[in-house]
Structure formats: C-alpha cells, structure tokens
Chain A
C-alpha cells in the first residue's frame, strides 16, 4: 500500500492539473501585476517603462487618498457593526432562544446567499425619492417627518450610511452563525461553575464567555475586515462610487483607472497599495491580539 501511495507518477497525475491552472491563472498574474506597476499604458496602446512614477503619482493623488480614507472608514464601520451585531445575535441564540434558535438562525442568515446586485437594487428602491418615494421616505412622510425626507443616495454621508446598512443587513446573520458555532463549544461546566460563583448576565458574558470566544471572534474580525476593505460589488451596484467620488473605494478607483482611463500601471499600483493595506491591517490585528493575551 505504502509503495502505491508513494508512486511519483500518480502524484503528478493527481496534483499537476490543478497546480497548472492555479499557477497560470493566479500565481503568475500576481507577479505580472507587480511588473505592471513600473509601466504606463495599456493592452491596446502598448506599455512604456516609467520606473517609480506610478508610486510617486500615488502619493500626490488626492483622489487616491480620498478613496483610501473611504475604504478604511467603510471597512471599520461595517466590520464593527457586522461582527458586533453578529455577536449580540449569537448570544441571543444561545442564551435566550436556546433550542428554538434554529429557525431564527436560518432566517437571519439567508441574505448572505442573495446576489449583491439584486440586494442593492432593492435597497435603492427602499431609499428612493423619485419617481416615487421608497419605503423609507414614504414612512417618514406618513409619520410627519417631512423634514427628513431626502435623496439618501444623493449625498456622500447618507449614501455611506445606506451602504453600511446594506452590508450589515446582509452579513450579520453570517457572523452570528459563525460565532454561534464558537459559543456552543464553550464547555457547559465552565458556565455552570461561573454561575455558582454568582456571575450572571452581562458579567458572565464579559468575564467568561468573551475570553473563551476570543479565537473565533478574532478570526471573524480578520475575515470581515479583509472582505470589507475589498468592497466592490456593493458600491458598484448601489452608488457606483457617487455622488462624485464620495463613495469610491480603492477597488473601484483601481477599476476605473484601468478600464475607463486605460492606465494599467497606475491601476496595478493602486491594487498593490490595497493588498498592502489588507496585509498591514491583518498584521496589526494579530499584533494587537498577541499583546492582549500576554498583558
């Protein structure tokens, strides 16, 4: 048997096809993309070597920094709310609904599987002002808050609000299930002895449950921030970066530079900056977590 499993030719036969596709479509293009950052031009006009010009331009580009700030703001806001609300939901599942939580878990989870474009269209209509009021403006109208009726997607601040709301709406159930799985792994004896020691309610959660949930919570944060810093679908489908540049994240700014302005090199530089941002935030979180454990 052992000899069969050490058969070199069989190993190649099993692994090589996947490795080939993976290398050609993923690994090689990454390196290629890094090479692009030293060039200007695009696939139609041809490429020209420009050295570090793209990175120098990046540093002085106000639009880049606006997109950078928006990306960070969006990532932090959505992460805090989707993991935070997910945590509250998971606590509710375990300590309040208990055995009856399966149905609620299933219902709250489901928007995750729906297509972003469809959800965005739905939210656009919920917050619409023309040609007729959407749900929100109609509700404000009905309760007499006429002053609050507005073009929600027409201004930067409120557009950001709707974007965050939509992403949180759609993914808090996902994080709730993730954290729920971590919560039911907390040994019952620990909870029981903490209760005997007089811990209950908020104290029980803060002192006992949260520390035990630490690793799962941490993984959720990493997963969430890495997803939200790369936000693309949500923005493209709901606001397309507008009004003006108010809701343009780095991904969309990169996309526009590449396909609207034909600047592959500069777009690659933006993509590289985005990858670095994700990496730094992740590393910072890891560093933070380690310090927290030793302290």
Chain B
C-alpha cells in the first residue's frame, strides 16, 4: 500500500512545484512554520532515545556533577556489565527468548493451518467459525486472566514459562488467522489443483506448496506478533513471580524498582538493553513492520 501511495504522490508533484514559484508571502511563512514544526517533531521523537543511550554510558559521579543533558565524558561500560549480570537482565533476556520463539512457532503453525482450513477448504459454517476466531481480537485480556490463573495454578504452571507460551499462542491466533486468510486469498487455486493432479496429498500440498508461497506473510506476521509478545507486561506480571523466571518486561520493572531511584547508570543500561532488540529489528525491517502493524489494526 505504501508503495502504491508513493506513486500517487509522485504524480502529484510536478503540478504543485510549478505553483510554488508564484506563492504569496503568507504561504511562504506557512512553509517556514511547517519546517520548524517538522524539526521540532524530529527532535521530540528522536532525542529521548539518543539521550537514553548516552546516559547509559555515564559514570556514577557524572550524574550528580554534570547537568542531565551533558554528554558522557567517557564510555563507562560498567553500567551495562552490572545491569547484565548483577541486575539479572541476562536471565530475563533468556526467559523472554524461551517464551517468545515457541509461541511464535505454535501460533503461526496453528494459525496458518486453521486459515487454510477456513479459506481454502470448502465446507458449511466456515464463515461463521472465522467470525468466532476474529471476535477474539476484541476480547480484553482482563476477562480471561483470573480463570487462566486458576487453571494454571492447579496445573502447577504458575512460575513456568509454559503458562506464557500457551497464553501467547492462543491470544495470537485471532490476528494470525485474520492476516493469513487475507494472504491465502491471493494464492492462485490452479497451483493447488496442479499439485493434487500430480498426486500429492492435501497435507503434502499444504506443507510443500502453500507454506513456501506465503513465507513472506509468515515473516510479517511473526514480526508483528514478536513485538506484542516481547513487550507483554500484563500476562508475565500475572503468571510469573519467581525472579528466575521473569521475562524482560517484568524483570525490567523489578530492576528499576530496586535500582531505579538511586543508580541511574545501570538503570539506563538495562533500559537500553531491552530497547535495542526491537530497535534493531525496526531499523532493518521498518517498512514491513509499519505495514504489518497497521494492516492488523485497521481492517478488523
């Protein structure tokens, strides 16, 4: 959509630039104001993050001796070391990875299969069932939190990362199915037909033909869901209280509770660490992220 948008805007361009030369002064002032607004906008959006990263490299006495906007005097990596080891960020990081990737895998495997069954297979009631799945997008987490806690409590899954994996998987299904149904709609049916004529079973066709064809979509969906899971606070706060099992968000919350008031250096380092994976992913794949996140929200 963004690509097509770029083209429309581009065709609009020549006409406008011709008009620009004969602009009255009022419009020139307007354009100057726009420039200022734009500069301000970029400062507001970008400066806090840069500030955050720089603060993480300040030595302890710099915080009290220098103004808060001063650049660090050197690269004080001890903050990072302390946050990573003493502050347990390494444990939280590991737990987040352990919870995130199995959830992503399960969610996409189950979601893609279901989307195939709902969109490509032909049977009565498939539209109704699709609606039942999509209704899940609207359900507030709060409505299911306590029953889930009760069940996990009895199954001894509280303080186990499995409680998170199961819940993330289920909560990711509605959006995954919704997006996958959209992508599967674009898969030409003739290809499936050709595969079946060649004697491949439906399951084989699904694994060998359909999955590779939507691999691009799988990456987009995985990316979108990654951000939801990685940034989750409510579920991990509810199901995990053992410090050794905390994920990165609850861990950081706990960390800043312990160190945050006094030790700014390690706190900034810890915050930087949790920000970096998402920041790097975004730097590399931003167009895909923007497309994925917005398409997931709007067409529901």
Q: Is the CB of B252 within 8 A of A6?
A: no
Known: A181-B1, A258-B146. A18 touches B110 (CB 8 A): yes
Q: Is A113 an interface residue (CB 8 A)?
A: yes
Convert B1-27 into 0s and 1s, putting 1 for each residue whose CB lies closer than 8 angstroms to a CB of A: 110111011111100100000000000
Known: A115-B252, A174-B293. A19 touches B129 (CB 8 A): yes
**A223 to B286 alpha-carbon distance, docked (Å):** 22
Chain B contacts for A14, CB-based, 8 A: 113-114, 116-117, 121, 206
Q: In the assembled complex, how far is the CB of residue B74 from the closest CB belonging to chain A, in whole angstroms? A: 19
Q: Is the interface of A mostly helix, strand, loop or mixed?
A: helix
Chain A positions 253 through 294: 1 when the CB is less than 8 Å from some CB of chain B, otherwise 0: 011001100001001101110110010000000000000000
- B42→A107 contact, CB < 8 A: yes
**Residue A232 at the B interface, CB < 8 A?**
yes
A110 x B279 contact (CB < 8 A) = yes
Interface range on chain B: under 10, 10 to 19, 20 to 34, or 35 or more? 35 or more
Q: Chain B residues near A8: list those with CB within 8 A.
A: 123
B80 at the interface (CB under 8 A from A): no
Count, A-B residue pairs, CB within 8 A: 286
* Contact B5 A104, beta carbon cutoff 8 Å: no
When the two chains form their complex, are residues A116 and B11 in contact, meaning their CB atoms are under 8 A apart?
no
Q: How far is it, in angstroms, between the C-alpha of A77 and the C-alpha of B261 when the chains are bound?
A: 29
Mark each residue of chain A from 176 to 205: 1 if its CB lies under 8 Å from any CB of chain B, else 0. Answer: 011011001100100100000000000000
| Contact of B150 with A18 in the complex, beta carbons under 8 Å | no
State whether A138 and B10 are in contact (beta carbons under 8 Å apart), knowing that A18-B110, A43-B153, A275-B140 are contacts in the complex: no
On whether the beta carbons of B64 and A132 are closer than 8 Å, the reply is: yes
Answer whether residue A17 sits at the interface, using C-beta atoms and an 8 A cutoff: yes
Whether B294 contacts A169 by the Cβ 8 Å rule is no
Instruction: Determine the residue in chain B with the shortest Cβ distance to A229.
Output: B140
Q: Is the CB of A11 within 8 A of B143?
A: no
A144 interface residue (CB < 8 Å to B): no
Q: Which residue of B lies closest to A121 (CB)?
A: B271
A36: contacting residue among B123, B141, B147, B293, CB under 8 A: B147
C-alpha spacing A138/B68, complex, angstroms: 7
A5-B122, A10-B202, A15-B113 known; A267 vs B136 contact (CB < 8 Å): no
| Interface flags, B260-300, vs A, CB<8A=1, else 0 | 11101001100100110011011000110110011001100
Q: Which residues of A contact B166 (CB under 8 A)?
A: 21, 25
Within the complex, the shortest CB–CB distance from B116 to chain A, in Å, comes to: 5
Q: Which of B5, B238, B252, B279 contacts A117 (CB 8 A)?
A: B252
Q: A5: shortest Cβ distance to chain B, in Å?
A: 5
A144, chain B: closest CB distance, angstroms: 15
A225 close to chain B: CB less than 8 A: no
Q: Do residues B233 and A117 form an inter-chain contact, with CB atoms below 8 A?
A: yes
Closest CB in chain B relative to A105 CB, distance in Å: 7
Interchain CB contact under 8 A, A11 and B117 = yes
Whole-angstrom distance from the CB of A258 to the nearest CB of chain B?
Answer: 6
Of B6, B286, B293, the residue contacting A99 (CB under 8 A) is: B6
Residues of B within 8 A of A177 (CB): 290, 294
The answer to whether the Cβ of B38 comes within 8 Å of any Cβ in the partner chain is yes
Alpha-carbon distance between A181 and B49 when the two chains are bound, in angstroms: 27
Q: Does B159 contact A (CB under 8 A)?
A: no
Q: Do A2 and B122 touch (CB < 8 A)?
A: yes
Is B6 within 8 A of A102, CB to CB?
yes
Do B294 and A133 touch (CB < 8 A)?
no
**Given A6-B122, A92-B38, A232-B233, A29 contacting B286 (CB threshold 8 A):** no
State whether A18 and B177 are in contact (beta carbons under 8 Å apart), knowing that A43-B153, A102-B6, A223-B297 are contacts in the complex.
yes
A154 / chain B contacts, CB cutoff of 8 Å: none
Report A-chain residues with C-beta under 8 Å of the C-beta of B5.
Answer: 180-181, 184-185
> Which residue in B16, B46, B48, B118 is a CB contact (below 8 Å) of A126?
B48
A135 within 8 A of B: yes
B230 in contact with A43 (CB, 8 Å): no
By beta carbon, the residue of chain B nearest A126 is B48
Q: State whether the Cβ of B52 lies closer than 8 Å to any Cβ in chain A.
A: yes
Residues on A with C-beta less than 8 A from B49 are 111, 122
Known: A10-B202, A30-B144, A132-B68. A21 touches B267 (CB 8 A): no
Bound CA span A264–B45, Å = 41
Determine if A106 is an interface residue (Cβ-Cβ < 8 Å).
yes
Are B282 and A110 in contact, CB atoms less than 8 angstroms apart?
A: yes
The answer on a CB contact under 8 Å between A17 and B147 is no
B42 and A104 form a contact (CB under 8 A): yes
* Residue in contact with B139 in the complex, picked from A26, A110, A139, A272, CB distance below 8 Å: A26
Known: A101-B9, A138-B67. 12 other contacts (CB 8 A): A13-B117, A18-B110, A29-B144, A32-B147, A106-B287, A114-B279, A115-B278, A124-B256, A126-B51, A131-B261, A132-B264, A251-B142
Could you pull out 6 A-B pairs where Cβ atoms are within 8 angstroms?
Answer: A15-B129, A122-B49, A124-B256, A132-B64, A178-B297, A271-B143
Q: Lowest 8 A-B CB distances belong to which pairs? A: A14-B117, A184-B5, A25-B170, A18-B114, A29-B147, A29-B144, A15-B117, A32-B147
* Chain B interface residues toward A at CB < 8 A: 1-2, 4-6, 8-13, 16, 31, 34, 37-38, 41-42, 44-46, 48-49, 51-52, 55, 63-64, 67-69, 110-111, 113-114, 116-118, 120-123, 129, 132-133, 136, 138-151, 153-154, 166-167, 169-171, 173-174, 177, 189, 192-193, 196-197, 202-203, 206, 227, 230-231, 233-234, 237-238, 248-249, 252-253, 256, 260-262, 264, 267-268, 271, 274-275, 278-279, 281-282, 286-287, 289-290, 293-294, 297-298
